[in-house]
Amino acid sequence: MAELSRLRHSAAHILAQAVKRLYPSVKLGIGPAIEDGFYYDFYYPDGFTPDDLKRIEKEMHKIIRQNFPFERIEVSRSEAERILKEQGEEFKIELLRDIPEGEKISFYKDGEFIDLCRGPHVERTGDVKAVKLLSVAGAYWRGDETKPMLQRIYGTAFETEQELKNYLHLLEEAKRRDHRRLGRELGLFDFYDEIGPGLVLWHPKGALLRTMLEDYLKKEHLRRGYQLAVIPHIMKADIWKISGHYDYYRENMFMFEIEGKEYGIKPMNCPGHIMIYKSRIRSYRELPIRIFELGTVYRYERAGVLHGLLRVRGFTQDDAHIFCRPDQLEEEIGKVIDFVKDVLDVFGFDDVQMEVSTRPEKYIGSEENWEKATNALKMALENRGIPYDINPGDGAFYGPKIDVKLRDALKRSWQCATIQCDFSLPERFGLVYVDKDGRPKQPIMIHRVVLGSIERFIGTLIEHYAGAFPFWIAPEQIRVLSVSDKFISYAKEVVNRLLELGYRVGIDDGSDTLPKKIRIAEKEKIPYMVIVGEKEVKRGSVSIRERGKRDLGEMEFEGFLKLLEKNFVPR
Which segment of 132-136, 286-290, 312-316, 424-428 scores lowest on mean pLDDT? Answer: 424-428
Q: What confidence score (pLDDT) does residue 571 get?
A: 53
Same-domain check for residues 151 and 288: no
321 catalytic? Reply is: yes
Pairing relation of β-strands 289-298 and 227-228? parallel
3-state SS of 258-290 is: ECCEEEEECCCCHHHHHHHHCCCCCECCCCCEE
Domain assignment of residue 62, yes or no: yes
233 catalytic? Reply is: no
Q: For residue 149, give every residue at least 6 positions away whose Cβ sits within 8 Å of its Cβ, in sequence order, or none.
A: 138, 139, 140, 141
Domain assignment of residue 169, yes or no: no
Domain that holds residue 554: 471-566
169 catalytic? Reply is: no
Q: For residue 121, give every residue at least 6 positions away whose Cβ sits within 8 Å of its Cβ, in sequence order, or none.
A: 6, 9, 10, 13, 70, 72, 108
pLDDT digits (tens, 9 = 90+) for 199-235: 999 999 999 999 999 999 999 999 999 999 999 999 9
Domain assignment of residue 177, yes or no: no
Q: What confidence score (pLDDT) does residue 2 get?
A: 59
319 catalytic? Reply is: yes
What's the average model confidence in pLDDT over 254-271? 94
Listed as own residue / partner, the contacts of 205-209 with beta carbons closer than 8 Å and 24 or more positions apart are 205/475, 205/476, 206/458, 206/475, 208/475, 208/504, 209/458, 209/469, 209/473, 209/474, 209/475
Share of the chain above pLDDT 90, in %: 79
270 catalytic? Reply is: yes
DSSP per-residue codes, 469-516: --GGG-SS-EEEEESSGGGHHHHHHHHHHHHHTT--EEEE-SSS-HHH
Same-domain check for residues 478 and 449: no
Q: What confidence score (pLDDT) does residue 361 get?
A: 84
447 catalytic? Reply is: yes
Same-domain check for residues 144 and 222: no
Please report, for the domain that includes residue 95, its CATH number: 3.30.980.10
Same-domain check for residues 443 and 498: no
Same-domain check for residues 414 and 536: no
Domain assignment of residue 78, yes or no: yes
What's the average model confidence in pLDDT over 175-202? 94
299 catalytic? Reply is: yes
Q: What confidence score (pLDDT) does residue 35 get?
A: 84
Q: What confidence score (pLDDT) does residue 560 get?
A: 92
Residues 557, 162: Cα–Cα separation, whole Å: 50
pLDDT digits (tens, 9 = 90+) for 132-179: 999 999 888 988 878 999 999 999 999 999 999 999 999 999 999 999
Same-domain check for residues 271 and 419: yes
Same-domain check for residues 307 and 439: yes
> CA torsion, points 14, 19, 21, 25, in degrees to nearest 10?
-140
Strand order from edge to edge, sheet including 505-508: 505-508, 478-482, 528-532, 541-546, 550-556
Same-domain check for residues 136 and 187: no
Contact yes or no for 139/147 (Cβ under 8 A):
no
Read off the pTM: 0.84
Phi, psi of 199 (to 5 degrees): -120, 120
Q: Which of 20, 121, 447, 525 is catalytic?
A: 447
Please report, for the domain that includes residue 335, its CATH number: 3.30.930.10
pLDDT digits (tens, 9 = 90+) for 496-532: 999 999 999 999 999 899 999 999 999 999 999 999 9
pLDDT digits (tens, 9 = 90+) for 402-419: 999 998 888 888 888 999
Q: Is the pLDDT of residue 1 over 60?
A: no
Structural domain ending residue among the three candidates 431, 465, 499: 465
Structural domain ending residue among the three candidates 445, 465, 485: 465
Structural domain ending residue among the three candidates 430, 465, 500: 465
Whole-number Cα distances in Å, 132 to 46, 62, 138, 155, 245: 22, 13, 19, 6, 44
Q: For residue 123, give every residue at least 6 positions away whose Cβ sits within 8 Å of its Cβ, in sequence order, or none.
A: 69, 70
Share of the chain above pLDDT 70, in %: 99
Q: Is the pLDDT of residue 250 over 60?
A: yes
Same-domain check for residues 353 and 331: yes
| DSSP 8-state secondary structure symbol assigned to residue 208 | H
Domains contained in the chain, number: 3
Q: For residue 418, give every residue at least 6 positions away whose Cβ sits within 8 Å of its Cβ, in sequence order, or none.
A: 401, 402, 403, 404, 447, 448, 449, 452
Q: Which of 9, 20, 321, 464 is catalytic?
A: 321
Whole-number Cα distances in Å, 535 to 251, 300, 505: 66, 59, 22
Domain assignment of residue 382, yes or no: yes
Q: What confidence score (pLDDT) does residue 463 get?
A: 94
Contact yes or no for 157/37 (Cβ under 8 A):
yes
| DSSP 8-state secondary structure symbol assigned to residue 27 | E
Q: Which of 121, 152, 179, 299 is catalytic?
A: 299
Pairing relation of β-strands 478-482 and 528-532? parallel
